[in-house]
Amino acid sequence: MTATEVVLRDEMGLRVPSISKVPVAKGTQVTFKAADADAVLYFSPATAGILSPKPGARVDLATGKSITYTFSSAQAGVYGVIAEAPKDPAATRFDFGAAANPPVLVIKAGKGTDFPVPTNTPGG
């Protein structure tokens, strides 16, 4: 059985995956690990439907912890997961591009929150 580990690292508040795509094949596994900060995973509905155990709407990962899923099927389709910081707004839009054959799981960092940018105005 093939297994792939995706390490999520904190980069300026974003949870950035170590790899951006994982091949999807029945019986293979993917492990998500939160390396240096807590993380949250949001799987698209299509993706949740091919994983075992089936993930909830929001999957929380504490720093240093990991979770493993097995692909229960491998049909051509669009599969993906968004990784975010726990306090970021929940992912509601899942755009992972066109269907791939052979299928892949796309792993994206969420958009994060907006950071305030100081205004440097003359005399201000």
Q: What pTM does this model have?
A: 0.88
How many C-beta atoms surround the C-beta of residue 11 within 10 A? Answer: 12
Is residue 26 situated within a structural domain? Answer: yes
Number of domains in the chain: 1
Alpha carbon distance 27, 38 (integer Å):
28
Tell me the per-residue pLDDT of 48-73, one tens digit each, with 9 for 90 and over.
Answer: 999 999 999 999 999 999 999 999 99
Is residue 121 situated within a structural domain? Answer: no
Is residue 93 situated within a structural domain? Answer: yes
Tell me the per-residue pLDDT of 77-120, one tens digit each, with 9 for 90 and over.
Answer: 899 999 999 999 998 889 999 998 899 999 999 986 544 444 55
Domain that holds residue 57: 3-109
- CATH number of 27's domain: 2.60.40
Identify the pLDDT of residue 74: 86
Alpha carbon distance 48, 86 (integer Å):
19
Is residue 90 situated within a structural domain? Answer: yes
Is residue 53 situated within a structural domain? Answer: yes
